[in-house]
């Protein structure tokens, strides 16, 4: 067995396909379906030189081979801006991500041993992951429900990864939670009901009379995205949200600009108070449920198949609710979430997953539970001192 560095992104990307899409590999016995596993195009885009992220970060790619066949991989990511924002002098945190391995602990051990050599050269004090670069990509190691089809843009992994990490004595850093909300159990709230609710609060506080919820229209995508970015930057910055540090709009756009293609105007909403945006949410259908149905070879027929089967999707993922800090105790999060639920029910959805939610984020956890959400899956981020 050999562990070496590579600069070949395509070679690195294809490791997971060789591991999980190979009928001769017993890894398939663990219930992992490669189609839902990793989005190769997104990984290639992330590592592209065009990604503004690499203006302040760098990476090392490790591949383990056995009999000249790839059997594991890991990316080591050093983000200078993250360290400048968070870490005290003479301390440095390095992320590990895009981790995949065959069910052989010795391979995982060898991979981390090689990683430690790089970490020592970098004078790293803490190794944190799995984090695929930043919060816009996959984060955490799935702890349960390994055979379920994951929600869109949520990670999945075999159960044996947990055993490997335990043997390496990696410690828990933080858990990320996924809540499932069963929509038929949610109170039906439409825009008219919301107005009535606001009217009933007039004697207590007439601030809710000026609330407006608008859809994220595709023809206004760029301007609405700038609004979302401003809210995200202020809300996450002032609350010191885990993993957040200031970035430029160009980097934000590079990471999330592709959402334009799958945007549903009734599922991505902005809430205004007195004509000023104070929050937004982003929700997306779980397209993972129809990936197996897209079998055509040409892009034209793939699009036709996608549009046909898209109508049958009844699950969605609420990926983000963001309310400005000065307004987060005014009920805006509940109001915009209830409007989303009304829209989902109108469109025939039966469940929505709210993920991910930090275990320490009491406000988001309270909102999830208020909407009837139950914890379905847990994703753990580990740390290792160097």
Instruction: Name residue 354's beta-bridge partners.
Output: 179, 318
Residue 367 CA: distances (Å) to CA of 74, 181, 298, 315, 362: 36, 11, 43, 19, 9
CATH of 181-378, one of 3.40.630.30, 3.40.50.1000, 3.30.930.10, 3.20.80.10: 3.40.630.30
Q: Which residue has the tokens 């990926």?
A: 319
Evaluate whether 46 touches 132 at the Cβ level (below 8 Å): yes
> Would you give the distance in Å from CA 199 to the centre of its chain?
37
> Do 2-169 and 181-378 come out as alike in CATH topology?
yes
Residue boundaries of the structural domains of the chain: 2-169, 181-378
Determine the Cα–Cα distance for residues 270 and 189; give it in Å rounded to an integer: 17
Q: What is the pTM of this model?
A: 0.89
Evaluate whether 134 touches 97 at the Cβ level (below 8 Å): no
Determine the Cα–Cα distance for residues 105 and 192; give it in Å rounded to an integer: 58
Determine the Cα–Cα distance for residues 301 and 292; give it in Å rounded to an integer: 14
Residue 324 CA: distances (Å) to CA of 182, 277, 319: 27, 9, 17
Q: What pLDDT score was predicted for residue 29?
A: 46
Structure-block tokens of residue 5: 């560095």
Burial-class residue 200 by CB neighbours within 10 Å (0-12, 13-18, 19+): exposed
- Please provide residue 302's backbone torsions phi and psi, each rounded to the nearest 5 degrees: -60, -40
pLDDT by residue for the chain (386 residues), tens digit each?
788 999 999 999 989 888 887 655 554 444 455 555 557 788 999 999 999 999 999 999 999 999 889 999 999 999 999 999 887 666 789 999 999 999 999 999 999 999 999 998 888 888 999 999 888 899 999 999 888 888 888 988 999 999 999 999 999 999 999 999 999 887 644 444 444 444 444 444 555 568 999 998 888 899 999 999 999 999 998 888 999 999 999 999 999 888 888 888 999 999 999 889 999 999 999 988 888 788 888 888 888 888 888 889 999 999 999 999 886 678 899 999 999 999 999 999 999 999 999 999 998 999 999 999 999 999 999 999 88
CATH topology of domain 2-169: Aminopeptidase (3.40.630)
Determine the Cα–Cα distance for residues 116 and 42; give it in Å rounded to an integer: 27
The one-character DSSP state at 160 is H
Instruction: Name residue 69's beta-bridge partners.
Output: 66
Determine the Cα–Cα distance for residues 179 and 206; give it in Å rounded to an integer: 32
């Amino acid at each position: 067995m050999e562990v070496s560095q590579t600069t070949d992104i395509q070679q690195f990307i294809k490791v997971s396909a060789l591991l999980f899409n190979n009928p001769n590999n017993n890894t398939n016995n663990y219930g992992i379906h490669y189609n839902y596993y990793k989005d190769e195009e997104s990984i290639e885009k992330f590592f592209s030189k065009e990604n503004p992220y690499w203006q302040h970060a760098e990476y090392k790619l490790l591949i383990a081979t056995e009999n000249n066949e790839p059997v594991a991989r890991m990316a080591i990511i050093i983000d200078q801006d993250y360290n400048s924002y968070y870490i005290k002098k003479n301390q440095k945190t390095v992320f590990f991500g895009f981790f995949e391995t065959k069910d052989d602990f010795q391979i995982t051990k060898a991979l981390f041993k090689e990683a430690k050599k790089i970490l020592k050269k970098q004078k790293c004090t803490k190794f944190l992951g799995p984090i695929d670069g930043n919060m816009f990509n996959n984060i955490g190691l799935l702890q349960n429900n390994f055979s379920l089809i994951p929600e869109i843009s949520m990670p999945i992994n075999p159960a044996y990864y947990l055993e490997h990490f335990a043997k390496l004595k990696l410690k828990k850093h933080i858990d990320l939670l996924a809540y499932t909300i069963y929509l038929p159990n949610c109170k039906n709230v439409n825009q008219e009901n919301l107005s009535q609710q606001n009217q009933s609060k007039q004697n207590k506080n007439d601030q809710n009379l000026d609330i407006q919820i608008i859809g994220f229209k595709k023809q206004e995508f760029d301007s609405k995205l700038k609004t979302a970015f401003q809210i995200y930057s202020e809300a996450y910055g002032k609350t010191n949200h885990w993993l957040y540090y200031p970035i430029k709009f160009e980097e934000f756009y590079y990471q999330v600009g592709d959402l334009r293609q799958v945007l549903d105007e009734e599922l991505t909403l902005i809430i205004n108070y007195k004509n000023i945006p104070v929050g937004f949410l982003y929700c997306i259908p779980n397209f993972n449920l129809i990936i197996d149905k897209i079998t055509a070879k040409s892009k034209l027929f793939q699009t036709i198949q996608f549009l046909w089967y898209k109508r049958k999707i009844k699950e969605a993922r609420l990926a983000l609710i963001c309310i400005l800090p000065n307004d987060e105790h005014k009920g805006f999060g509940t109001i915009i979430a209830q409007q989303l639920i009304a829209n989902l029910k109108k469109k025939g959805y039966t469940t929505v997953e709210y993920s991910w939610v930090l275990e320490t984020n009491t406000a988001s956890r309270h909102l999830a539970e208020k909407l009837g959400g139950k914890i379905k899956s847990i994703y753990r981020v580990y740390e290792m001192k160097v």
